[in-house]
Amino acid sequence: MSHTSSVTNFLQPHNSCNARGVRPATAAGTYTSRVTTRRGRPTRTEAQELDRRVREAAVEAFLESGYAATSMDAIARAAGITRKTLYARYPDKRTAFLDVIPWALSGIADDDSFTMTDTDDLEADLIAFGRLAIARATHPRNVKLKRIAMTEAAQFPEFAVAADSMTWAPRQRVLADLLRRHAARGRIEVDDAELTAEHFLTLVESVPARLADFGIFRTEAQQDRHLRSAIRLFLLGTTPR
């Protein structure tokens, strides 16, 4: 709410503005100063932006220092908000961790990122999908997220389930849909598309992702050789005889 306040100053009864912009309003010795407008409730867009900023700041704080060494004060400073504002959102650090890490993990496998072009060449489709999947699974930030999830899973049992489903389920659904379409055309035999997609992801992602967990990243040529070999093996098991 916008308002002005009268500031009485008996020591400087003159008619010109002082260094703070205080100017005379009525009788000699009485001054008024313009006060910053107090804003009302934030708009939905502003609230969403604040929510994103706080979550990102918390994620980065946890990734940099680990769960045990991260404090609520550190998160508030990183987000540029007061402790009161942070505690209004999260009553404690555990609550913050349980919210922001699954939120960050959900971004690892955004459905839109795995939207595929369905062609008549299943092998080419699988190569394109596999390259994207490996790149996402071995991205340094995503590796850090999965690492902290595994490190803290023992004391966050409810979080362990979310970590697995959020990093794998979306791309598994996209791949399963692709496999169903090719099965309908008679190009492959698939009884359970979800389970078959899981086997494909295990063949393609598991070793590169596990190596990345230990800081080992293969060259592009090595990744491509691994991917093509996995796809050949997968097609041998699904192509009609």
> Residue 37 — pLDDT band, cuts 50, 70, 90?
very low
Which overall architecture, per CATH, does domain 44-94 show? Orthogonal Bundle (1.10)
Domain boundaries, the chain: 4-34, 44-94, 111-238
Average pLDDT in the chain:
81
* pLDDT at position 6: 38
How far apart, in whole angstroms, are the C-alpha atoms of residue 153 and residue 80?
29
User: Which tens digits make up the pLDDT trace of 124-135?
Assistant: 999 999 998 899
Domain 111-238 class?
Answer: mainly alpha
How far apart, in whole angstroms, are the C-alpha atoms of residue 238 and residue 188?
5
The pTM for the full model equals 0.69
Mean pLDDT of 62-67: 94
User: Residue 62 in contact with residue 42, Cβ under 8 Å?
Assistant: no
**Is there a shared CATH topology between the 44-94 domain and the 111-238 domain?**
no
Phi-psi region of 184 (alpha: psi -120 to 50; beta: other; left: phi over 0): alpha
> Residue 32 — pLDDT band, cuts 50, 70, 90?
very low
